[in-house]
Amino acid sequence: RRLLGLLRPESAELWLVVLFAVGVGALTRATPVVAMAVVNTVALGTLVQQLVVLCEALAAALTLAGGLTLLQSIVVEFIQRRV
């Protein structure tokens, strides 16, 4: 009960942390999918352009996931300082 009383004013920030966690989870799910596509592209010997696009898409997704993780850590740090 006491914990809920402490966290109630921080509910907007807590939802933001949950939203960041969902975003990071969705973006990191792209890693095995793209890895499988890269293996299939290399195995089938198809165009090199597809391989480059897949690798760039993976790099962009992982960079965005890292940025969301950083923002999530910052929000959690602010919540910890207030509580």
What are the tens digits of pLDDT across the range 2-16? 777 777 777 788 888
Report the distance separating Cα 22 and Cα 37, nearest Å. Answer: 23
| For range 6-29, the mean pLDDT | 85
Share of the chain above pLDDT 90, in %: 18
| For range 43-64, the mean pLDDT | 84
Report helix, strand or coil for 47. Answer: coil
> Can you say how many angstroms the Cα of residue 48 is from the centroid of all Cα atoms in its chain?
27
Give the number of C-alpha atoms closer than 13 A to the C-alpha of residue 60, restricted to the C-beta side: 6
